[in-house]
Structure 1
Amino acid sequence: MERLKVSMSVSFRRALLASAAAIACSASWSPSALARSSPNSLPPVTVQAPDQAARPVVQPKPRAAIGGSRAMRAASRGAPIAQPVAGAAQPAGTAGSASLTVPTTEQARQDIQRTPGGVALVADTEFKNSPANSIKDALGWVPGVLIQQRWGPDARISIRGSGLSRAYGNRGIIPLMDGLPISTADGLFDLFEIDPTAYRYVEVYKGANALRYGANSLGGAINFVMPTGRNAPEFEARIDGGSFGYLKSATSVGGFAGPFDWYMTMSAQREDGYREHSKTDAERLNANFGYQFSPDAETRFYLNAGRWRSEIPGEVTKDAALMTPRAANPVWVQQDQQRNIDSVRVANKTTLRFDETTVDFGASVLERHVMHPIYQWLDFHVHDYGGFARVTDDRIIGGYRNRLVTGVNIQNGTIDINQYWNIGAATKGPLAASYLWKSQNVSAYGENSFFVLPNVAVVAGAQFLHAVRDQQDRFLANGDQSGRRAYNPFSPKIGLLWDVDPTWQVYGNISRSAEVPTYDVTTFASPASTDINAQTATTYEIGTRGRRPDLTWDVSLYRSDIRNELQCLTSPSTPGACTIRNADRTVHQGVEAGLGVAFLKSTFAQEDRFWFNVAYTYSDFRFDGDATWGNNQLPAVPAHWLRAEVLYKHANGFYAGPNVEWMPQAFFADNANTLTVDPYALLNFKLGYDRGTGWSGYIEARNLLDKRYISTAIAVETATAASALFNPGMGRAVYAGLRTRW
């Protein structure tokens, strides 16, 4: 652990190259990323490498015979399910045909493993037996994904240091629902629209590994995928409750009739909050409707709607966070700071299959109204629209397999914002500012995988992005702050993927990434700020992953050399707001590692076992010879973060065990490295029962020792003991839930 504290400068890059050779020579070097399974079993991974001699022509893959909800229920009763002959055409809309537009969990797992870099797929069996309150419940066990709770369900999410200095909102990651973006066109996104009970699985693409969706930001992309009527239970209902007034209910229905299928889920939740002035309530609707024209043509429509009302307790000083963690910042209470959002998104995705070639295309429209009294009263409407087209061609060329993915994305939008003074108690005062923000984003990308051997692929790709940020100032009392800026980054990538055997892989890549500023900062507030440049990075990465019956692993080592990192630094005079600045040179480097090992098998019953699961993230983020900050550490992120559990699993569906969250080393809250966030460890415990159908339930206790700690810190240039930068972590809490499916 102490060795990891040493700054990994140029030698780190050399170590990456040396480690690549070591990985290729030894399978024993495999402490890696967690593949936590359902309470019953750990499904094996299948890394497919085509047999070129046996397959002179690549045939289109038949969709897995998962079938609709009726077939699933038949299987649960022990009735046999008729399996289609591999490769045989089936009538559209039959129980044996899966969706063309939405891969099954196992299909998605195989697809994502074609990426020569850090990726993860999290199935719903890993997060639905929990309060399913926030994104941390879904992704908290993915190494490299740092989720720091602010209050209630709101959190800061960062991958490899993306957007790590954000005070509110998130950037640096492209969030997607079923492959279509849910961020605003300028790149900012909230987490309130994410409902963990609505998804079948979640895909995580770290950094430029998200090129599959045309994303090339430092953090990559996260794709939340709903079930369809062909693989969802006909009916599902759940209720969850727990400490601090938490209560959530959710209901879903799904099914199919001939070529039609449908899935719809609705949820409502409320929470009084651990802290004063942190009450939240939310209602969400997520639905999709599909139609199969033929076994090779399908279209699907999506509807996502949400309402969120929340109070904001605000940041406090370090002493206040640790001594009186349930208290809110009194200024926030006096101003009655809130974040209230109504949103509706309508989208369509269509898939056509032509032998070796698959074409996907779609479009979406997002309307969002944000009512946000903070130190000012922000009232704005978001109107975003966009579309995409992607072509995947997988065939044999000259005796070698070749897989080409090309596509284009368009995401445009406007934000019509008025800012009023908050004169207290969330009351609008005089107009303080008025803007019309217009964003344009057009990107084209391509990625080609050429198999030089049946199990070794060379992967090369690139993306070109044309982005425009245009601000029209409609309140000229303080001067005209209109401005326009265009960005045209080009981001290439090259990598290598080796399927060592059907259960494990080794990979490496070198990639570029780029990120343009978001509008929620004063991008055009002064002549100097119009010079804010796009953040660019060159990332070197190596790693390995594998899934065997009693062992899973996933480990990545990476280094990103960053130019013009976008730092969002909070001003002491306007707490809660931040101003973007370009740092000169910075370095983000680290290790993302997870491991799952079964032991003590058949201890109390046949086929029972204990599992040891661990997810570890090491983050060495620092300035690189900065004129002001030298080689100081970048603020707001811990160097070490570890989650570990010992979980007993019985074949009948019972599971129980403790787990810990541990931050063993302090981190800084400012560029000057003067004020730290103290280390902490949390003890948790859970038990439950889940057979995969029928009734299931759980009880989960968090922070059993009622440890006082700081969960999030916002960043400033130089902090003092009086700086209100901190959000205290939640105290002892207990949750329980019941779910039924049929």
Structure 2
Amino acid sequence: MPLIPPRSQPALAVLPLSLGLVLASPVHAASADPATTLDTVKVTAATDIEQARAALKRIPGAGNVIDLAQVGQGRIGGTADVLAYQPGISAQSPGNEGVKVSIRGSGINRGPGAHASGIAVSLDGLPLTGPGGTPYELLEPLWLGRVEVLRGANGFERGALALGGAINYVTRSGRDSAGLQLHYEAGSRGYQKRSASYGGVSSDVDYFFAYTDTDFDGYQRHGKGDGKGAVANIGWQISPQLETRFTVRYRETDHETPGRLTRAQIRNDPHAANPANLAIDARRPQPGSTWIGNTTTWTIDDSNTLQAGLAYHRYPMDLNESLYRQQLDYANLNATLDYTHRHTLFGRDSVTTLGLRVTHDLDADVRETLRFASNGYPAGTHTRDFSHHGTDSVLHVGNDLALTDTLRLQTGLAAIHTRRDVQVTWPASDGRINEGTWDYAPRLGFTWQASPQVQWFGNLSRSVEAPHPWSMIWGSNRYFPAGYGASSGRQRAPVPLVNQTATTLELGARGDSAIGRWELTGYSARVLHELLSVELQPVPNLFVAENNASPTAHRGIEAGLDSTLWQGSAGVLSLRQAYTFSDFRYRHDARFGRNMLPGLPRHLYQGELRYQHPSGLYAGVNTEYASRIAVDYANSYWADSHLIFGTRIGFDAPSGRWQAWAELRNIGNRHYAATVTPGYDDAGKDVARSTPGDGRGVYAGLSWRFD
């Protein structure tokens, strides 16, 4: 569920109060005191963003609340733009709509564009993440009002038990997006984005509709892509106690896949495409994802609330990124049920929550054929069919108890049941995994309001992450029609994997002071059976294997600071900064010892210095630094570190009717690796494992609103 209830409140209510105070009786009516008129009182209701930030302070751990109005003051091409300048979050894009998002090392070695791992992603509080991970094409940022992130084990109350936590993308509604709005942005390398939206309120119903499409040529050759889709969000306040909201999203994308490059290529020719990808015209068309969700909230009384949600998601894919064409028919049915009871316990204020989160594969079947003649078989040869279905059910109960006016204790316990049914079904049924597993996740946390400006928090929690069903298909054995040959890179039978678990200790503080709004968090996680993937064979005969690792450790520091450096009649000068330190490594692996896990930088810093004039004019300069990245588990080779700069200027009309901006990114045209997809042991060789970040680019945009 969202951090705040789905119902939105008006930002400002002005209540003129004229109270006649009459002391009268039938006998003395004529001598009554004259009416007393009080001054007008302005009652300001908290905005959705303010309510979400207040709700975050009740959680004994770290999180982020992202206001899309602020993000929209520059290019908002994809998820990486939304999650920028946020402590604890690494979000990098290879130049298309695919993105690699990691929190506390989640999905550390996944490639961009793959189904994301280790983070439970929701749309309007309803699960988007299924047993097979999280697709990315539905995450159009122009449809969003805000994003709520609960890092690590802090997604507990949403039934999100994965190592990285939870991200909730909240759709705009008619209450915060009234009228018709047109949006256009364009820039380097053929980038264009167009959007039209309309929202409003009619009696007890609010509504929001939007259409968006995008085109780009890409930074690398063979990197063109496009996407288009629509969203509808309709809420109905049936009664003061009952509200329901429907959301429908549809989106389709088509991307060329330029492939990964070596470090030398990124340094000298980052526009290049991988020759193997060019040879096979690698691409990923996604014919159209449909997501339909409903959330209904019943406020039973002042002490009890019940919320139920149901979402259907169908997302077929047509992968043409290797010698094989894989046609995937995917569909999920996901549900949530949450009950909140406010009461007293031991004479103290207490809130008890009970929730159920279920994600279930309806269809997850794959048909595979040869795209090109290979090993004596003609193009179009039907090579294999397989299926991988899963169900994840999480039942969680928690309590938030006020020990004192400033100290709160939170306790919780979750039980998770996972089922995996994985089978190669053609040309022969050879091996099947059909098993169910129970696991558990206890949680103990506290918040201490040390002063009105400073809050301390901490928790000791366990996380559980089940393997994706599709990852169990990729094994080291081979299976193909008789005589096809072991070099095909296909496997004989599914490979069993066990749940990844971690015990995490987190301590931190947040507050407001003379230096600004700040947060500082440290965590240490001991991980067992970490699910790690490795590319064993490159394109065109791409082969990626997934395995449970020996014990690993994830440790880090997450810091954020938003400061007002100067404020006067001429405007405001502010600085926002986010720093993430990540130390992810084996504990004592038989081969790799205490090597760092490849795929992410150890240090990541983002900052923006911004000037805002009262007229609505703003300007800023920004920077990003990332340290070098290991590209294999042997730590035998590293991608370069990078330091890039950008600038932006814009104008927000005080009336709120229009906005214009221009932005320059990567001013120095620095060549760098945005993402790394690791290998096993490259023995010090420069292997193509990195996707380049965008070079110098100029972008501009305009939004116009009609009431």
| TM-score under structure 1 length normalisation | 0.84
2:168 matched residue in structure 1: 223
Counterpart of 2:119 in structure 1: which amino acid?
I
Q: 1:421 aligns with which of 370, 377, 395?
A: 370
- Other structure's SS at 2:553 match: strand
What is aligned with 1:345? 291
Q: What's the offset of the Cα at 1:165?
A: 0.6
Q: CA deviation at 1:135?
A: 0.7
- Residue of structure 2 aligned with 1:305, choices 250, 255, 272: 250
Whether contact under 8 Å (2:463, 2:501) holds in the other structure is: yes
Q: Answer yes or no: is the 8 Å Cα contact 1:706–1:732 preserved in 2.
A: yes
User: What pairs up with 1:238-277 in 2 under 5 angstroms?
Assistant: 238-277=183-222
Give the 3-state SS of the residue equivalent to 2:660 in structure 1: strand
In the aligned structure 2, how far is the partner of 1:380 from the partner of 1:83?
61
Distance 2:494 2:7 in 1: 52
Give the counterpart of 1:705 among 663, 668, 676: 668
**What's 2:587 paired with?**
624
State the match for 1:361 in structure 2. Answer: 308
CA contact (8 A) 2:305 2:339 kept: yes
Task: Give the distance between the partners of 2:521 and 2:44, measured in 1 at CA.
Answer: 36
Tell me the residue number matched to 2:416.
Answer: 465
* Partner residue in 2 for 1:456: 407
Choose from 145, 151, 161 the match for 2:105: 161
* In structure 2, C-alpha distance between the alignment counterparts of 1:212 and 1:163, rounded to whole Å: 22
AA in 2 matched with 1:583 = A
Cα offset, 1:576, TM superposition: 4.7
Give the structure 1 partner of residue 355 of structure 2: 407
1:518 lines up with 2:464 in the alignment:
no
What is the match of residue 564 of structure 1? 529
8 Å CA contact 1:64–1:98 kept in 2: the answer is no
Amino acid at match of 2:634: A
Q: Determine if the alignment matches structure 1 residue 189 to structure 2 residue 137.
A: no
1:651 aligns with 2:614: yes
Residue 733 of structure 1, aligned match among 697, 702, 706: 697
Shift of 1:654: 1.5
- C-alpha separation in 2, matches of 1:708 and 1:61: 44
Distance in 2 (CA, whole Å) between partners of 1:374 and 1:473 is 21
> Which residue of 375, 381, 384 corresponds with 1:430?
381
Counterpart of 2:397, as a letter, is G
2:439: which partner in 1? 489
Q: Choose from 666, 676, 688 the match for 2:650.
A: 688
Q: Deviations over 1:629-681 (max 9, x none)?
A: 10011101111011112111112221112111112x32211110100011110
Matched, 1:172 2:118: yes
Shift of 1:345: 1.0
Return the offset for 1:529.
6.2
**Partner residue of 1:112 out of 50, 56, 60:** 56
Structure 1 position 279 matched with structure 2 position 242: no
Q: Which residue of 2 aligns with 1:439?
A: 390
Cα distance, 1:626 vs. partner? 0.6
Amino acid at match of 2:370: W
Q: For 1:571, what is the secondary structure of its paired residue?
A: strand
> Within 1, Cα distance between the matches of 2:650 and 2:352?
44
Mapping for residues 657-676 of structure 1, pairs under 5 Å: 657-663=620-626, 665-676=627-638
Q: Distance in 2 between matches of 1:681 and 1:118?
A: 27
**447-456 or 499-508, larger mean C-alpha shift:** 499-508
Q: Distance in 1 between matches of 2:496 and 2:591?
A: 19
Equivalent AA in structure 2 for residue 361 of structure 1: A
CA–CA separation in structure 1 for the residues paired with 2:92 and 2:612: 29
Query: Which residue of 2 is the match for residue 370 of structure 1?
Result: 317
Q: Deviations over 1:336-365 (max 9, x none)?
A: 111111110111100011211111101111
The residue matched to 1:248 in structure 2 has which SS?
strand
User: Is the CA contact (8 Å cut-off) linking 2:564 and 2:572 kept in structure 1?
Assistant: yes
8 Å Cα contact 1:63/1:97 also seen in 2: no
CA contact (8 A) 1:517 1:523 kept: no
Aligned equivalents of 1:551 and 1:284: distance in 2? 39
SS of match in other structure, 2:495: helix
Distance apart, 1:548 and its partner CA: 5.7
Work out whether 1:584 is the aligned partner of 2:550: yes
Root-mean-square deviation (Å): 2.5
Q: Is the 8 A contact 2:132 2:470 kept in 1?
A: no
Maintained 8 Å contact 1:347/1:365: yes
How far the C-alpha of 1:520 sits from its partner, in A, is: 3.2
- Distance in structure 2 (CA, Å) of the matches to 1:588 and 1:694: 47
2:178 match = 233
The CA distance in 2 between the partners of 1:207 and 1:510, in whole Å, is 11
- Any idea what SS the aligned residue of 1:336 has? coil
In structure 2, distance between residues paired with 1:97 and 1:255:
21
Shift of the alpha carbon at 1:420?
A: 1.5
SS in 2 for 1:210: helix
Contact kept in structure 2, 1:572 and 1:723, CA below 8 Å: no
1:187-226 alpha-carbon deviations (Å, 9 max, x no partner): 4222221111111110001111001211010011100001
2:117 is aligned with 1:204: no
Q: Which residue of 1 aligns with 2:40?
A: none
Contact persistence 1:487–1:516 (CA under 8 A): no
Q: Name the counterpart of 1:392.
A: 340
Q: Contact conserved, 2:423 with 2:494, CA < 8 A, in 1?
A: no
Q: C-alpha distance in 2, partners of 1:84/1:689?
A: 38
SS at match of 1:521: helix
Deviations 1:64-115 (A, max 9, x none): 7416xxxxxxx7xxxx745999xxxxxxxxxx9999xxx9222222222211
The alignment covers a number of residue pairs equal to 653
C-alpha separation in 2, matches of 1:383 and 1:713:
29
Q: Residue 630 of structure 2 aligns to which amino acid in structure 1?
A: F
| C-alpha deviation, 1:471, in angstroms | 1.4
Q: Distance in 1 between matches of 2:452 and 2:680?
A: 50
Cα distance in structure 1, aligned partners of 2:290 and 2:10? 31
SS, match of residue 212 in structure 2: strand
1:258-291 Cα offsets, whole Å, 9 max, x none, are 2222111111111011111111111121211111
* 1:38-71 C-alpha deviation (Å, 9 max, x unpaired): xxxxxxxxx9xxxxxxxxxxxx99977416xxxx
Is the CA contact 1:126–1:138 (under 8 Å) kept in the aligned structure 2?
A: no
Q: Which runs of 5+ in 2 are unaligned?
A: 19-42, 478-491
- Scaled by the length of structure 2, the TM-score of the pair is 0.88
Letter in 2 for 1:516: A
CA contact (8 A) 1:485 1:530 kept: no
Q: Output one character per residue of 1:500-537: Cα deviation in whole Å (capped at 9) or x when no partner.
A: 33443110101000111113324474599634111100
Instruction: Tell me if the contact between 1:63 and 1:98 (Cα under 8 Å) persists in the aligned partners.
Output: no
1:64–1:107 CA contact under 8 A, matched in 2: no
- Give the letter for the 2:567 counterpart: K
Q: Which residue in 1 is equivalent to 2:598? A: 635
Higher percent of residues as strand: 2
**How far apart in 1 are the matches of 2:271 and 2:587?**
38
For residue 133 of structure 1, give the secondary structure of its aligned residue in structure 2. coil
Q: Which residue identity does 1:435 align to in structure 2? A: F
Letter in 2 for 1:499: Q
Q: Please name the residue that 1:52 is paired with.
A: none
Amino acid corresponding to residue 179 of structure 1 in structure 2: G
- Alpha-carbon deviations, 1:579-616, whole Å to 9, x = none? 111111100101010111111322xxx06121122110
What is the aligned-residue identity percentage?
A: 28
Q: How has the CA–CA distance of structure 1 residues 215 and 249 changed in structure 2, closer, same or farther, with 3 Å as cutoff?
A: same
